[in-house]
C-alpha cells in the first residue's frame, strides 16, 4: 500500500496490432502513474501457441518490446511510470527476457516480473477424463487442443508490484485485472472488499479497449470524427473509495462523454447483476455516469460479492479450413449479378470436388456488400450499381479449398460483364480455430511469480459462496426471458392514432460485441422517459424476430437500470464467432447499428416537445 489517494492509469493498446500512438501519447503527456496495454484475445492465444510450437523463444506480443519498451523505456524510468501488460501471451518468461535485454541495451534499470501459470494445456487430459463440458453448449472437450489458458485475476499482479516490480508481464488474465492489480497494490484493497474490487474491475473494463470510451466506436460518431487522427487514449483517475473519472490527455481528439463511457461499460458483458471475474462477482446494474468537467466522466455505484471458486479456461482447437474471397461487381443489376457469380463459383467447385472423390463443402457463405445483405429483410438498397461479393467456404481438407480458390479468378471471363477485380490475389486457405470455454477449480491452477531467478508460488485463496453475490436471471442460457410477447413488439396501448413510427436510434444509443458465438447488444435510452416504452416494445422476442436473418438461437434480455438500458444476448448469432465464422462481421460489431434501425412507435407529443426530431419520423 503506497498511501496514495489518487492513482492515474492509462491504457495504450486495446489489442495486438493497435497503433503505437497510444503508448507514445500517454507516456509523453498523459500524466499517468501506470501504463497498461491489453494485447490478448482468444484467437490471439491460438496464433501465439502456434508461433511457440515453431520457436520456443516465441509466443508473446512482440509489439510490446519493439514499440513500447524500445521507444519509451528511458522515459518510463524517468517519469516513474509503471507498466502492466498481458503481452506474455503463451510465453511470459520469453517476453520478460526480451524486455530485460532491451532495457539493458538502453542502460535502463527497471525491475521486470512475470506472472505464469495460466497455460493449463498439460492439464486438459485429466480434465477430459473427468468429463469437463463446454460451459455454453455442453459439448465434450475435443481430443486435440491448440491452446488452453485460464483467465487469472489481479492479485498476482498486485503481488509483483508489492515486490517492487516496475514492469509486470502476464499471460492470459481477465483484461480488467491489468488495472485492478495496481489499485489493489496502491490502495491496499483486500479480497474481502468486494465492492472495491468490483469498482476497480469496472475501471479496467472501461479502459481495456483503448479509445472506444473516448469517442471511438461510438453511436453518435459525428461529434467525435474530427479528432480521430489523434484520438485520445483513455485515462482513469481512480480513488480509494472505488469511484473513478474517465478522461484523456489534454489536446487530443475524440470526446469523453457519458454516452461513450456508458457504451463501453456495457461492452461484451451479459447480466449486469452478475459479471463473474476471478477476484469478484460484479454487480454493475446500478452503476451511474455523470459529467465531471470537459472530457471528464465520473463513474460510481459498482457493487460486488464473493469471487467464484472457478477459473474460466478458454481453449482453442483446429476444426478444418476456410477460404474467403471478395470480388468487385459493377453495372446494372449488380446485386443479381453478384449472386449469380457466387452460384457459379460454388457450383463449379462442388462439381470438381465430386469428380475428385472429395466431400462437398461443409459450409458456404455468400454476402453482397453494398446490397445491405447484413440487414436481411430490412435492406433498403436493392438496385445499387456497385457491390462487393464475398463468397466463402469451409472444408475439413485444405486441398478442397484450393479448388475453390482457383475458381475465383475465372469468373472474370466465364460469368458476367462487370466483374472488375479480385482483391488481394488468389484467396488463401486458412485453418479454422474454434473456441471451447469451460470452468475448473481455482486450486487446480498453479500460479507463480517470477522475479529475477526466484519463482514464487502464489496459492489460491479460500473462497466464500459466490452464489450469495450473484443474482443471475433464473432463465437458463439461451432461453428468451422477455415475458409475454407483444405482437410486432408493440404494446396494445401504443397502437393508437397519436403514435408515430421512428427508428430505435431516435430513442437510444447502443453498443455491440461478442462472447464466442453470442452477440451482445446493449441498448441505452437517450432520456429516462424513453425506458418504459423501449421495455414494452423491444422485447427479447421482438429482437429475435427482427434479427432472425442472423440469429439461430434464442435471445435474452437483462435490465440495466443504472444506465437506463437493456442488455440483449443473441445466442448463435455470429456463425460460430471469430475465425470460425465465414461472415464478414464475425464479432457482431455492427449488430447494434442494425438493431438501431428497428422501428418503434412513440407518442406524437414527444415530437412536439422536441424530445425526438421530426426528421426521424418514418413514412
Pairwise CA distance, residues 320 & 244, whole Å: 46
Q: Are 96 and 83 in contact (CB under 8 A)?
A: no
pTM (predicted TM-score) = 0.92
Pairwise CA distance, residues 8 & 34, whole Å: 7
CA 140 to chain centre: 25
**How does residue 50 score in pLDDT terms, banded at 50, 70 and 90?**
confident
**How does residue 484 score in pLDDT terms, banded at 50, 70 and 90?**
very low
Give me the percent of the chain exceeding a pLDDT of 90.
83
pLDDT tens-digit map of 163-209: 999 999 999 999 999 999 999 999 999 999 999 999 999 999 999 99
State the DSSP string of 189-205: --TT-HHHHHHHHHHHH
Angle at 533 between CA 527 and CA 538, to 5 degrees: 110
The C-alpha cell at 514 is 461478442
H/E element, 414: helix 411-414
pLDDT at position 189 is: 97
pLDDT at 51 over 60: yes
**How does residue 304 score in pLDDT terms, banded at 50, 70 and 90?**
very high
pLDDT at position 2 is: 66
Pairwise CA distance, residues 103 & 85, whole Å: 16
Pairwise CA distance, residues 273 & 296, whole Å: 26
Mean pLDDT value of segment 28-57: 90
The C-alpha cell at 197 is 474490487
Q: Are 380 and 619 in contact (CB under 8 A)?
A: no
In SS3 terms, 294-322 reads as: CCEEEEECCEEECCCCEEEEEEEEEEEEE
Pairwise CA distance, residues 590 & 317, whole Å: 27
Q: Which residue do the cell numbers 454487480 mark?
A: 283
Pairwise CA distance, residues 551 & 574, whole Å: 8
Pairwise CA distance, residues 368 & 9, whole Å: 43
Mean pLDDT value of segment 496-519: 91
pLDDT at 492 over 50: no
How would you class 613 by CB atoms within 10 Å of its CB: exposed for 0-12, middle for 13-18, buried for 19 or more? exposed
**How does residue 488 score in pLDDT terms, banded at 50, 70 and 90?**
very low
Q: Are 417 and 331 in contact (CB under 8 A)?
A: yes
Mean pLDDT value of segment 472-494: 40
pLDDT tens-digit map of 344-388: 999 999 999 999 999 999 999 999 999 999 999 999 876 899 999
Q: At what angle do helices 177-187 and 194-207 cross, to 10 degrees?
A: 130
Amino acid at each position: 500500500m503506497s498511501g496514495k489517494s489518487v492513482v492515474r492509469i492509462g491504457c495504450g493498446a486495446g489489442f495486438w496490432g493497435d497503433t503505437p500512438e497510444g503508448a507514445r501519447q500517454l507516456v509523453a503527456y498523459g500524466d499517468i502513474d501506470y501504463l497498461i496495454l491489453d494485447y490478448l484475445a482468444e484467437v490471439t492465444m491460438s496464433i501465439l501457441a502456434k508461433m511457440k510450437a515453431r520457436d520456443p523463444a516465441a509466443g508473446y506480443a512482440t509489439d510490446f518490446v519493439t514499440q513500447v519498451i524500445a521507444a519509451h523505456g528511458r522515459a518510463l524510468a524517468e517519469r516513474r511510470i509503471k507498466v502492466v501488460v498481458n503481452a506474455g501471451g503463451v510465453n511470459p518468461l520469453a517476453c520478460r527476457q526480451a524486455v530485460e535485454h532491451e532495457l539493458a541495451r538502453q542502460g535502463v534499470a527497471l525491475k521486470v516480473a512475470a506472472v505464469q501459470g495460466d497455460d493449463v494445456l498439460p492439464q486438459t487430459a485429466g480434465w477430459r477424463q473427468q468429463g469437463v463440458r463446454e460451459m455454453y453448449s455442453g459439448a465434450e472437450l475435443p481430443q486435440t487442443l491448440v491452446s488452453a489458458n485460464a483467465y487469472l485475476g489481479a492479485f498476482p499482479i498486485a503481488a509483483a508490484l508489492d515486490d517492487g516490480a516496475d514492469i509486470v508481464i502476464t499471460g492470459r488474465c481477465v483484461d480488467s485485472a491489468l488495472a485492478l492489480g495496481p489499485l489493489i497494490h496502491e490502495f491496499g484493497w483486500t479480497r474481502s472488499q468486494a465492492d472495491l474490487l468490483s469498482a476497480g474491475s469496472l475501471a479496467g473494463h472501461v479502459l481495456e479497449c483503448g479509445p472506444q470510451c473516448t469517442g471511438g466506436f461510438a453511436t453518435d460518431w459525428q461529434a467525435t470524427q474530427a479528432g480521430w487522427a489523434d484520438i485520445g487514449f483513455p485515462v482513469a483517475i481512480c480513488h480509494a473509495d472505488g469511484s473513478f473519472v474517465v478522461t484523456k490527455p489534454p489536446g487530443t481528439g475524440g470526446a469523453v462523454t457519458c454516452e461513450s463511457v456508458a457504451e463501453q461499460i456495457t461492452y461484451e458483458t451479459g447480466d449486469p447483476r452478475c459479471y463473474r471475474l476471478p477476484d469478484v462477482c460484479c454487480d454493475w446494474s446500478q452503476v451511474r455516469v455523470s459529467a465531471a468537467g470537459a472530457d471528464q466522466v465520473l463513474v460510481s455505484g459498482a457493487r460486488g460479492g464473493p469471487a467464484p471458486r472457478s477459473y474460466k479456461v478458454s481453449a482453442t482447437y483446429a476444426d478444418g479450413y476456410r477460404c474467403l474471397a471478395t470480388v468487385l461487381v459493377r453495372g446494372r443489376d449488380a446485386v443479381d449479378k453478384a449472386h449469380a457469380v457466387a452460384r457459379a463459383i460454388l457450383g463449379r467447385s462442388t462439381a470438381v470436388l465430386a469428380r475428385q472423390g472429395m466431400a462437398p463443402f461443409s459450409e458456404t457463405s455468400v454476402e453482397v456488400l453494398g446490397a445491405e445483405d447484413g440487414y436481411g429483410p430490412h435492406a433498403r438498397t436493392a438496385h445499387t450499381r456497385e457491390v462487393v461479393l464475398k463468397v466463402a467456404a469451409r472444408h475439413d481438407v485444405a486441398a478442397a479449398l484450393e479448388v475453390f480458390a482457383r475458381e475465383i479468378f475465372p469468373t472474370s471471363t466465364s460469368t458476367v460483364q462487370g466483374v472488375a477485380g479480385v482483391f488481394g490475389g488468389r484467396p488463401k486457405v486458412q485453418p479454422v480455430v474454434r473456441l471451447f470455454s469451460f470452468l475448473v477449480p481455482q486450486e487446480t491452477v498453479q500460479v507463480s511469480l517470477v522475479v529475477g531467478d526466484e519463482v514464487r508460488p502464489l496459492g489460491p485463496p479460500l473462497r466464500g459462496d459466490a452464489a450469495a453475490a450473484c443474482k443471475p436471471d433464473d432463465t437458463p442460457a439461451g432461453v428468451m426471458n422477455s415475458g409475454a410477447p407483444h405482437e410486432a413488439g408493440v404494446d396494445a396501448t401504443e397502437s393508437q392514432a397519436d403514435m408515430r413510427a421512428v427508428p430505435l436510434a431516435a430513442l437510444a444509443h447502443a453498443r455491440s460485441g461478442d462472447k464466442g458465438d453470442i452477440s451482445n447488444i446493449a441498448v441505452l435510452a437517450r432520456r429516462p422517459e424513453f425506458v418504459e416504452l423501449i421495455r414494452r416494445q423491444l422485447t427479447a422476442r421482438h429482437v429475435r424476430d427482427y434479427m432472425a436473418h442472423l440469429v439461430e438461437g434464442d435471445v435474452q434480455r437483462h435490465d440495466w437500470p443504472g444506465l437506463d438500458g437493456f442488455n440483449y444476448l443473441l445466442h448463435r448469432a455470429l456463425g460460430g464467432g471469430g475465425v470460425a465464422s465465414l461472415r464478414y462481421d464475425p464479432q457482431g460489431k455492427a449488430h447494434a447499428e442494425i438493431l438501431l434501425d428497428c422501428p418503434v412507435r412513440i407518442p406524437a407529443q414527444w415530437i412536439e416537445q422536441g424530445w425526438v426530431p421530426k426528421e426521424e419520423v418514418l413514412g
